[in-house]
Amino acid sequence: MFDGARRAILMVFAVLALSAGSIASAHENHDAIGAGPGPAKNATPNQRADKADATDGHVGMGSMSTVDMNLGGRGIAGDDMDMGGMHEEAANKNKTFGQRIVSWLGRLHTMVIHFPIAMFIGAFAVELFGLWRRNRDMQHVAHVMLVVGALGAIVAAFLGWFAGGFYLTDRNPILMTHRWLGTAIAGVGLVLVYLAAGHRRAPERSRKLYLVLLGLMTLAISVQGFLGGTFMHGGLNHLAF
């Protein structure tokens, strides 16, 4: 049994090792979202300026075409989605197996992120409810939610590095904040699990540090969710009233 598990682990590491050389280019949107340091690849300053102007125009037209789509028409956004799908399909045909694995893992990031968001915020709400009702049983419920949230945060952060590329800095400050805030959330999540377990073993210990840290985690993960939404819904103004 152990030999089989060892072979499976070695196989996973072998796949990751084969794809390591192509990680930076495996996800087709890395350059578009401003991942990595320095200017955009394969573009002159004038081309980058033109691209920025075109992007701004596309966001505006995209908002207009959303109305058109809701009315039953295809609009510009519909054509763009069709063309985007064609480009993505063509790009996938030119990828190696390792590049496909990296790109696929990156796309799983948006599916996993909902679990830590719900669990951490829910754990904080359960703790506050337990304090209000003076019910220590709520601490056990919050602890279970923290364990699930911490595991989800680790997986989400891991997949997020595949989605955004393995860079230490990004020319897009929003992406860089999102990258490192997500990594920090995964680390602090483990600290919260440790503190919660310690308070269960010694109920007489003060829980102020734990509750303050959990409150800050709730705030941080809310900001993290907002920043992540900017990549899906048109920038920092996507919640403009």
Structure tokens at 13: 């590491």
Instruction: Find out whether 164 and 30 touch, Cβ atoms under 8 Å.
Output: yes
Choice between 79 and 23, residue whose per-residue pLDDT is larger: 79
Q: How many CA atoms lie within 13 A of 67 on its CB side?
A: 4
Provide the percentage of residues in the chain whose pLDDT is more than 70.
Answer: 65
Is the pLDDT at 176 greater than 50? The verdict is yes
Is 225 in contact with 179 (CB distance < 8 Å)? no
Model confidence over 186-216: pLDDT tens digits?
999 999 999 999 988 888 888 999 999 999 9
Amino acid, single-letter form, for residue 2 = F
Structure tokens at 8: 């499976």
Q: Alpha-carbon distance 164 to 23, whole Å?
A: 10
Label residue 67 left, alpha or beta by phi (over 0 means left) and psi (-120 to 50 means alpha): alpha
CB-facing half-sphere around the CA of 82: CA atoms within 13 A = 6
Rg (CA), the chain: 22
pLDDT at 93 > cutoff 80: no
E strand or H helix at 183? helix 173-201
- pLDDT score for 9: 44
- The CA angle 202-219-208, to the nearest 5 degrees, is 25
Residue ranges covered by each domain of the chain: 2-106, 108-229
**21-59 pLDDT, tens per residue?**
333 333 456 777 787 887 766 554 444 444 444 444 433
Distance of alpha carbon 100 from alpha carbon 23, whole angstroms: 10
Span 106-160, pLDDT tens digits: 888 888 898 899 999 999 999 999 999 999 899 999 999 999 999 999 999 999 9
Whether this model's pTM surpasses 0.75: no
Determine the pLDDT at residue 41.
63
Selected residue with higher pLDDT from 177 and 62? 177
State the pLDDT confidence band at 240, using cuts at 50, 70 and 90: confident
Tell which residue, 67, 161, 71, has the closest CA to residue 109. Answer: 161
Distance CA 194, CA 184 (A): 16
Q: Which residue has the higher pLDDT, 199 or 73?
A: 199
CA distance linking residue 237 with residue 189, whole number of Å: 29
Which range (91-95, 193-197, 202-206, 226-230) has the least confidence? 91-95
pLDDT tier at 165, thresholds 50, 70, 90 = confident
In our burial notation (b when 16+ CB lie closer than 10 A, e otherwise), range 94-125 reads ebeebbebbbebbebbeebbebbbebbbbbbe
In whole angstroms, what is the distance from residue 49 CA to residue 55 CA? 10
pLDDT score recorded for residue 185: 96
